Structure 1
Amino acid sequence: MVSNVTPIFKFNYKKLRFLRKKYGCSLRELADKIDYSTTTISKWEKGQSVPTNEIVAKLATIFDVHENFFWTSDLIPNINGTVFFRKGAVLPKKNKIEAESKIRLFALIDQKVSLDCNLKQYQLYDLVEKNKEFKALRRDDIAKKAVELRQVLNLGTGPIYNMTHVAERMGIRVMFSDLESENIDAITGWINEQPYIILNSRRLSSARIRFNLAHEIGHILLHSKYSQHIINNTQYHKEIEHEANQFAGLFLISDRSLALDMDKTNMKFLIELKKKWGLSLQALIYRGNEIDLISDQQALFLRQTIYRNSWRIHEPLDKVIPIEYPNFYEAAFKYLDIDVKRFITEISIETGLKISDIERILGIESKNNNSNNILRVLK
């Protein structure tokens, strides 16, 4: 769909660079697509020259946006707080930029929707750690934070029904997206004192997603005052990640609740515990071993059982326990009785983004639609 809005602003050269970086497209790749030199494209991205309307239309097609995306005055918000990556390996800079770009687009749409609908923003809870310099936290202190957050949110001591709903109640914005790299589980970024969490939709295991989300909330409460320099410091990074993991495990199930429930330690019983608490078998084994409910020998045997059954990636019940998709915007639109189709169309005209992309960001598209047409266009 091509917008019929007449451009009235200057070509926004920063948006060209943003889109190219977002999709991991090099200058050479883009040059080959549009048959222009890398030098010319570089000048466009620096605002030293302006592409013709014909080229702008071609760029819009390549990057799957409306032409007026490049002409509108809207600025793509910059991440101006700490960024946390939950990842399984060292990430290339390219993958980090792509993931951070999705956070920035998420914030662009959220800011428009939240302002127009007066939606709840993140609240700076008193239990947030105030330390700006690195300080290793004791396990007891982390457990206390987990208990306090449950109390603030009136969650009681039992299983948490929906972790995504918990984050949204806190005013944290949550989105599911294909982060492309299998090494990224989640990313959390701060823009204007508002935290945004993107969960990798490739990790479609409810238990894993729940833990990842609790892990990111742990970062928000325990480490959000740290500078990016501290977060990236290899000397501190491992401990920071360990603390977030501890918070996630303790928030999802306290030591006391685990001790009361784990009266058996065989695999069949642990699968039943997974069904009740929504925690992965591997996490249950770790937690049980951590507080001496499961011996080291039994923990080794259970992990070997997981390995022998090829359950390291796909555990039992992963397809049974439902995915807890974000529902914040959909519920808000319903409560405010908003004409969603018209509202999103207006945002599309204002931003130059496709309606389907806005729906995807707001979580009101089909839950099974995880296609990424832009990658096919670029490749």
Structure 2
Amino acid sequence: MQQLRTLRLSRGYSLDELAARMGGMVSKQMLSKYEKDLSRPSPPVEQMIAQVLGVKVRNLYESSPFDLEFIAYRKLSGLSKGKQEELQAQLSEELIKRLEVQRRLGLHCEFKFVPHSVKRQEDVERAAETLREEWQLGQEPIENLIDVLERKGVHVLALDAAPEKFHGLSAVARSHGDFCGAMIAYRTLDAGERQRSTVAHELGHLKLSVPEHAEMDEEKAVQAFASAFLMPRQLMYEALGRKRSNIHLTELLQWKAFFGCSMQAIIYRARTLDIISDPYFRDWMIGISREGWRKKEPRALPAEQPTYWAQLVQRAVAERAITAETANQYLPGIVPESEVNTLDRRAFLSLPPEERRKLLSQQAAQVSDLYEPGTQHTGWIDQFVEQEPDDE
């Protein structure tokens, strides 16, 4: 059962908990054997496992054509090994769903996974400017960062129940060795300015390569990239000026709304571009700490909401690339229940006869074992005794 472990971990279940949710039908030792392909469960056990995990039986056996590589995984070092595995399993399951839907629709990832080697600040500036040019973003602020990334093929996943120690993570996917997609995940509890910073930071992990003996380490490089990507230096010079000796709070709050970045990020960027001096930067940071703004700034920006996945699922249903039932498994309620049967019947009847026969054969094979003599579905036969009709 190639996917059992991933499905179990993504739901946060230990072997003990899965066994308990199955009502003790099997032991955790047997479940472990199933995960390692040392044994295969009986059909009733398969059905119960699938029911508890909220999937179909076939999902327990399907192998994925996609291989995932998580970038900068050391950032999860503050989490327990179990929590790391759970988080990775959740993200893997979600990304693979999206890649599969894209594959069925014949869509290709526009994002290019070609890391830009950087050693110093100027390299980072050029990397951010190059990406903006490639994506034709110009020099203006990015109104909706998540929308831009998703349109370019980077799947953005919001984790509602992520641990506090988790902020963001990125990954790339390959199929048969070829790059086919990328992902950025973030914790949803953050204010809009922090959310954008986290997402841009993870984009930096996908776009930068920092060799040994560089002037900056990887974390500093990707954070510098995030600032340069969200606040292009030419636009910063136009907005704040080339040299400033004083910046008022009201002005800084205006630039916060303009750039979609935190006050701290703007002040840090101003120092990086030598718009303000180091002593003035330190004064500002001391003031921010004194006011308690390091964790929560005034005038928090609204968080951006990922929308591409819902649009992709709706398109896949309309084009009959997936069934309405599958769509509701991916995004509960996206297709009204009153329309599910009608849509799925139309999708099935629109298939060529050969494809319909293939699907029916597959479904028959999946349930055939349930009707073998002696199973719970045929036990009534053993009790049945044919009787002669009464003569009247």
Distance across 1 between alignment mates of 2:168 and 2:323:
26
Shift of 1:92: 2.3
% identity of equivalent residues:
26
Q: Closer, same or farther in 2 for the Cα pair 1:44/1:329, shift >3 Å? A: closer
Which secondary structure does the structure 2 equivalent of 1:158 belong to? coil
Query: Paired residue for 1:313?
Result: 295
Amino acid at match of 1:56: E
Q: Distance in 1 between matches of 2:91 and 2:159?
A: 10
Distance in 2, Cα, partners of 1:86 & 1:285: 28
- The one-letter code matched in structure 1 to 2:229 is F
Show CA shifts across 1:41-93 (max 9, x none). 222222222334443343334333344433xx532455443523494862322
* Worse-superposed segment, 27-36 or 111-120: 27-36
SS of residue in 1 equivalent to 2:197: helix
After superposition, the CA RMSD in angstroms is 3.3
The correspondence for 1:327, drawn from 294, 298, 307, is 307
2:358 maps to what in 1?
Answer: none
**1:339 aligns with one of 318, 328, 332:** 318
Question: Aligned match of 2:166 in 155, 172, 184?
Answer: 184
Q: Could you say what secondary structure the match of 2:72 adopts?
A: strand
Q: Which has the larger radius of gyration?
A: 2
Alpha-carbon distance between aligned partners in 2 of 1:287 and 1:364, rounded to the nearest angstrom: 42
1:169 aligns with 2:151: yes
Number of residue pairs matched by the alignment: 324
Partner in structure 2 of residue 292 of structure 1 = 274
> How far apart are the structure 1 equivalents of 2:130 and 2:303?
26
Q: How does 1:1-379 map to 2 (within 5 A)?
A: 13-34=1-22, 35=24, 36-70=26-60, 73-76=61-64, 79-85=67-73, 87=75, 90-124=78-112, 128-129=115-116, 137-178=119-160, 180-192=162-174, 193-223=179-209, 239-262=217-240, 264-318=246-300, 321-331=301-311, 339=318, 343-347=322-326, 355-356=328-329, 358-359=330-331
Contact 2:11–2:90 (8 Å) recurs in 1:
no
- Is the Cα–Cα contact under 8 Å of residues 197 and 226 in structure 2 kept in the other structure? yes
Question: Deviation at 1:156?
Answer: 1.3
Change (3 A) 1:56 1:190: same
* Cα distance change of structure 1 residues 95 and 140 upon mapping to structure 2, 3 Å threshold: same
SS in 2 for 1:173: strand
Q: Once the two structures are superposed, what CA deviation does each residue of 1:181-200 show, in whole Å capped at 9, x if it has no partner?
A: 11122221111113432433
From the superposition, tell whether residues 246 and 344 of structure 1 become closer, same or farther in structure 2 (CA, over 3 Å): farther
- Secondary structure, counterpart of 1:285 in structure 2: helix
For residues 263 and 103 of structure 2, what CA distance do their matches in structure 1 show?
Answer: 42
- Which SS does the other structure have where 1:81 is aligned? strand
Rounded to whole Å, the distance in 2 between the matches of 1:146 and 1:152 is 10
Instruction: Deviation per CA, 1:100-156: give whole Å up to 9, x if none.
Output: 22232123212331122222313437x742x6xxxx521111101111111112211
The residue identity in structure 2 corresponding to 1:58 is M
Q: Secondary structure at the match of 2:265?
A: helix
Q: Separation in 2 of the partners of 1:66 and 1:259?
A: 57
Conservation of the 8 A alpha-carbon contact between 2:186 and 2:198: no
Alpha-carbon distance between aligned partners in 1 of 2:76 and 2:249, rounded to the nearest angstrom: 26
Question: Structure 2 length normalisation: TM-score?
Answer: 0.71
Aligned mates of 2:48, 2:317 — CA distance in 1: 34
Aligned residue for 1:196, secondary structure, equals strand
Q: Name the amino acid aligned to 2:4.
A: L
Higher RCO, 1 vs 2 (CA within 8 Å, ≥6 residues apart): 1
Segments of structure 1 that go 5 or more residues without pairing to the other structure are 1-12, 349-354, 366-379
